[in-house]
Every structure is written in structure tokens, then in C-alpha cells.
Chains A and B, each alone.
Chain A
Amino acid sequence: MSENLLEIKNIDVTFKTRHGILKAIDNLSLSVNKGEILGLVGESGAGKSMTGAAILGLIDPPGRLSSGQIWYKGQRIDQAPETIRGHEISMIFQDPLVSLNPLRRIGDQLVETILTHMPITKYEAIERARKGLEEVGIDPERINAYPHTFSGGMRQRVVIALALAPEPALIIADEPTTALDVSVQAQILDLLKRLCRERGTSIILVTHDMGVIAETTDRVGVLYAGRLAEIGDTRDILTNPKHPYTKGLVASTPRIDASSFDKTLYQISGSMPKLDAMPCGCAFHPRCEFVLDKCRSDIPSIIANRAACWLLDKEESLL
């Protein structure tokens, strides 16, 4: 069993507002192993970006990590996340336009990142920067170019190079390809996969796209209204989902299939509850086809290491 690189234990992220305390993330626990790609999938407002931000301590007031612990390589980091930021854990954001400083050459940004985290000379840093660019498929001669001279896909490659430069053990990629065309998206995802396999870097890939999850990740966690609904091996979850929400998500994802024209897409009725109007018990129960009485009152925790659903509990107890 590979050691757990990152462990999130029962974290809560809360926001203090005029209307009371809202929980953006509720009792979330998950772990990332060395060298694996973990997907975090969910719809808007489910809390997936918030999870990435929580790991790196990037949550701004009035939000805060109000309970729980985050362990990295056996050390607690939730109290002092700045120590591991960049060097051990780095982040890739969605919009390459705002991730790069438009006034600085990409070489300068790369070198600065490298020098911040590694005690080497500037000359060595420049060499590393050039190699980094080569690895992501950018001509190292362009090291002195400005970001606006690159296309969206190329800029995202630069951002990946920036994220990889300090040789982190974990990269959090927050919707890295959502703003890109489909063809470019495929290239970027392949690049990420390849580089991480080669270096043994782990990735947390945050996205709303089930197709991206299917093609890129080893394991996946499904978030709903700030809570973890299901977690497990990607193939397993997508072919045999246990949580009714996951089932609904998978069924309503359109596929490239000529015969789907005459059929109506499966749809989950209703919509995800807002944080200030959370239902009692299971957050999904008002929309669930298989709802039990228990679901209306008791919040399920992850059962059988798989899904937060009382149906699983029934299954288990029947065995």
C-alpha cells in the first residue's frame, strides 16, 4: 500500500455571514497517495475549488477552516500552510490569462519561482527553466517572451511548467482545461498525465467534466453541497456508481452515440441546494429516487469506504 501523501481529516470550511454560519465544506475526509491522480468532481457550488484552496490555506475571510486537520507527509499543515506552498504543493488555476503576470517575461517568472524554493544560482535556475519549458513542449528559445504572445493552450503549458518547476510532490489543478478548446484540452491532459507518471507527482484534478475524469484520473471523489458523496476507483465509480447522485450524474452525461438522438437524456430533478437552505439529513434526499426515511433526518457518513448513502448501509446489514 503506497503511503498517504496527503490526508484530509474531517475538515469544515465555514463562512460567517449576516444570516448565520454557512458550511461550504462539511466534514470532508479524503487522502491522496503518492503518484496517483485523484479527481474531484462536482457541480458549481459543490465545494471542489474550496477544497483545493483549503489545502493550501488560500481561503480568505470571512471564510475559514474551522475544524479538522490536514496532514502532509506525516506533518500537520493546516496551521501553517505557507511552509509547504509552492515547494511541496503547487497549484494550477483555470484561467491562464490571469495566472501569468502580463508584464513579466515567462522566463523571469519561472526563474523567480525556482529561486524561491531552491538554493541554487541564478544561472542554474535559468537552465532548469529552459529544461522545464522543453518538457512541456515549448521551444526554450521563447524563454524571454511575454505571456500575451502565446495562445491559451501554450499559456497553460507555461503555467504547468511554473507549477512543476519547484518539483512539488503534489499539484492541485483547478479546472485547468475548462477554458480551452477540446483539442488543446486533450493535449494538456496528456501532458499532465505523462509528466506526473514520469516524476511520481500526485495530482488533485478538480473539474466538473465527467469525461475528463474518466480519461485522466485513477480515483475520484464526488462532491455534493460541500459534502463527499462518493469516493473510489474511477472506473468502478463510473461503471458502477453507488450513490444516487453519482448515478444521476453519470446517466445525464451525454455521450457521442448516434442512437441517443431519439432518447431523452436522464435528468435529476431539482437543483443543488444553496448553502443557506440545506435540507436536514442527506443533502441529496429531496431529489433522490431511492430515498429512505433515515435519509431525511440523519446525515450519512462514508459507508464501506465508498459512498455516503444509507442505501449502502442497508446493503451492508443485509450481508
Chain B
Amino acid sequence: MSFVVAKNLTRNYDLSDPLIVRALTMRPKRILTAVDDVNFSIEKGTTYALVGESGSGKSTIAKMAVGLLKPSVGTLIVDGKNLNDPALAREDQLALRRRIQMVFQSPYASLNPRWRVGDIIAEPIKAFCLIDGIKAQSMRVSELLEQVGLAPSDATKYPHEFSGGQRQRISIARALSSQPEVIVCDEPTSALDVSVQAQVLNLLKALQKEYALTYLFITHDLAVVSTMANKIGVLNKGRLVEEQSPAGLFSRPQQDYTKMLLNAAPSINFD
């Protein structure tokens, strides 16, 4: 049963000059298609990885999946509900938002530098009215901090007191505090060092097992993908050009673009 389904997902950007300029210079409209008719589906509790280089549209898809951007064409369906249904009442929209959260790429820009870590993690709990009472909320924050490998005493500190890897853990704790079912991970380890990346990826895997989370994992790194994904989709200039399981993709890539990516990736193996 597909939990997350993307149908004909398309996103266009109008880059045309203003009307007057176009009329005077007789230039046509310029439309940039960042995402072009992308279809994929994710089973509950699994990880779907979207791989692509810069300009492939993967970040745009991530934002559409979470509701930060509206698709120009197409729909995104989570647990049978259309994310962008105009008929949806405000409370229902909010309830749907709660079920899909995001972990961002930059550990430095994804946490408000002026807020304490405890407040950052507690904010979704308060916004979605999940737990009442300051004491109970505080306890939940401590629980979440421990789950991601930090200490409850870290709640009173500020983000700048933590390293990049620790900040990503805080980001994950914040995403978890909404009790989501789907987490979109937008290149969560691209800005991290190798040894820290391993810690964060292991953490994400463990959390997935514990909470039956569904991941949409965006990355440019095929090696990272091979430890995380059940299915891989390859994006090239906005189009999904190939979709396979990791075993299939690595041994029998179908498209030239995929073959090129596999060849170009620097490998630490000496065989």
C-alpha cells in the first residue's frame, strides 16, 4: 500500500521579462521547468532516495513534498489525502502538515540561532497542541534529546554551542517532535564530515525501524544512498530518468546518465 504518491509532479518558473519589455523587444515568454512530470510512490516504512546533481530539481521536489511549494501541475498524496487540496479546512491542513516533516541540509541555517535548543524542539509540540503543560512538554523534549544521542541538559544551550553533526541531531529531534509519519530528508549529511555522517545516517536508520517512518531521501551521493534506500530514483534536469532498487541500479543501470553518474563517483574501493 503506497503511503506517499507523487503524480505528474511539475513545477514551472516564469522567468520572462516584464510585459512591456517583451512587447518592445518581441521576445517570447521564458519558462523554466524545474520539475517535469515526475511520478513515484513510497511504501510505508521504506526509504525512497532521489538522486541528482545540482539543477536536477531534487530540492524543488523536496519542498513540494512537504508543502512549502505548490506544484504547477500534479498532485502529492499522503495516506490517501491530497496535500494541496483547496477544499481542505485549515485544521485538516494543519493535521496533514504534522504528519510530514523535514530535515534540512544546512546544520547552520536550520536552527534559529537566537532560540534555545529546548524551545526549538518544543515549538512543534506547542504548535500542534500535542502535549499540554510546560512540565510534560519539557519531559518530552528531554526524551527526544536522548533519542537522538544528546543529553537533556542540552535543552538550555544555544545552537552555536554545538558541532555540525550535533545540530543535525537537534534538527532530527525537532522533526520527530511532531510525531510525523513521513520525513523528507533534504541532503541531511552533505555538509557533514564522513565520520559524523555515519553517525547521523545510523541514527536515521534506527529511528526508521523504531517508528516505522517513511523517508523521502534527497541526495547527490550514490554511496550514501546505497546504505539508506529501498528504491532509488535518478533525476536529470527535472525528469525522473530511471527508477530501480539499489541492487538493480548498481549492477544493471539502464540509462546513460545513470551510468555516467556511477562512473564519475569517486570510489574508495581499490578493485
Contacts and interface: CB of A to CB of B under 8 A. Distances in A.
Q: Do A and B come from one complex?
A: yes
Given A43-B193, A254-B226, A211 B266 contact: yes
A183 interface: yes
A91 interface: no
A51 to B, nearest CB: 17
Contacts of A268: 195, 198
Interface stretch (A30-38, A52-60, A128-136, A255-263): A255-263
Contact of B250 (A182, A210, A256): A256
Interface residues of B, number: 43
A80 to B, nearest CB: 35
Interface string A220-248: 00000000000000010011000000001
Main secondary structure, interface of B, reads helix
Contact of B268 (A183, A210, A269): A210
Among A185, A210, A252, find the residue whose CB has the most chain B CB atoms closer than 10 A: A252
A182 B197 CA distance: 18
Contacts of B261: 182-183
Given A256-B223, A263-B227, A267-B202, A182 B268 contact: no
Contacts of B264: 182-183, 185-186
A189 B264 CA distance: 10
B205 interface: yes
B165 interface: yes
A257 B226 contact: yes
B25 interface: no
B221 to A, nearest CB: 8
Among B166, B194, B270, find the residue whose CB has the most chain A CB atoms closer than 10 A: B194
B253 to A, nearest CB: 11
Nearest to B203: A267
B6 interface: no
A260 B226 CA distance: 6
Contacts of B159: none
A212 B260 CA distance: 17
Contacts of B226: 254-258, 260-261
Given A210-B194, A265-B198, A256 B262 contact: yes
A211 B221 CA distance: 12
B193 A255 contact: no
B164 A44 contact: yes
B270 A238 contact: yes
B227 A183 contact: no
Contacts of A249: 194-195
A288 interface: no
Contacts of A261: 226-230, 246
B250 A183 contact: no
Given A44-B164, A183-B260, A211 B227 contact: no
A235 B270 CA distance: 8
A271 B151 CA distance: 15
Among A238, A248, A267, find the residue whose CB has the most chain B CB atoms closer than 10 A: A267
Interface string A117-136: 00000000000000000000
A271 B196 contact: yes
A239 B270 contact: yes
Nearest to A252: B198
A264 interface: yes
A263 B206 CA distance: 11
B266 A255 contact: no
Nearest to B200: A267
B131 interface: no
A208 B193 contact: yes
A138 interface: no
B265 interface: yes
A198 interface: no
Nearest to A235: B270
B127 to A, nearest CB: 31
Interface string B238-271: 0000000111011100000000111111111110
Across chains A and B, which 4 residue pairs bring their CB atoms closest together, nearest first? A211-B266, A252-B198, A43-B193, A258-B247
Interface of B: 53-54, 163-166, 193-199, 201-202, 205, 220-224, 226-230, 245-247, 249-251, 260-270
17 contacts: A43-B195, A209-B194, A211-B265, A213-B268, A238-B270, A252-B194, A253-B268, A254-B221, A254-B227, A255-B223, A256-B250, A260-B227, A261-B230, A265-B198, A266-B198, A267-B198, A271-B165
